[in-house]
Amino acid sequence: MRDCEDEMLQFTVAPTPSAPRAARKWAGTVLEAWLQGTRDSVLLVLSELTTNAVREAASIHADTTLRVEIGFDAGCVIVSVTDPSSHLPPEIRHASDEQEHGRGLEIVSLVCRHMGSEPCSAGGKRVWGAIPVDGEETAAVLCPARLA
């Protein structure tokens, strides 16, 4: 099992309603230099995972921050959000047309090659998704000098 302190770019944010927007802004800046073609999918996954983490933190009345991470591994952009709740695993629900909420993880599962969750050694959990990247973008990440 991976620990929640793997080498990834990190951003911390308070679990407030504005957290998904702040996480998208941070990730968008990172992705402009990395992977333009994959940017929208990464921002969608990041927004959904951050929204769920805000709800989880609120449900346990946690006064803490969320950790948002973006990395690259095996041809995928890895997006993860760590929250203080130990509720595992997050469940993919199939919302009816009338329901306002409940589609986030279903959307994430459609966009990502893989997704999952794991407990963190310091408590809480990390929920992640792996968004596939095309060959040219992969080369740019592996050789950042090509971005200049």
The CATH number that applies at residue 112 is 3.30.565.10
The pLDDT, as a whole number, for residue 36 is: 66
Burial class (CB within 10 angstroms; exposed 0-12, middle 13-18, buried 19+) of 135: exposed
Range of the domain at 89: 9-147
The pLDDT, as a whole number, for residue 60 is: 82
Q: How far is CA 83 from CA 34, 59, 112, 145, in A?
A: 26, 11, 20, 34
Share of the chain above pLDDT 70, in %: 76
- Return d(Cα 32, Cα 113) in angstroms, integer: 22
Q: Is 2 a domain residue?
A: no
Q: Is 4 a domain residue?
A: no
Q: Is 141 a domain residue?
A: yes
- Return d(Cα 47, Cα 32) in angstroms, integer: 17
Q: Is 69 a domain residue?
A: yes
pTM of the model: 0.69
Q: Determine the length of the chain.
A: 148
Q: Is 1 a domain residue?
A: no
The pLDDT, as a whole number, for residue 47 is: 93
Name the percent of the chain in helix, strand, coil, to the closest 5: 40, 25, 35
77-136 pLDDT, tens digit per residue, is: 899 999 998 887 677 767 677 766 767 788 888 889 999 999 999 889 999 999 988 755
Q: In the chain, how many domains are there?
A: 1
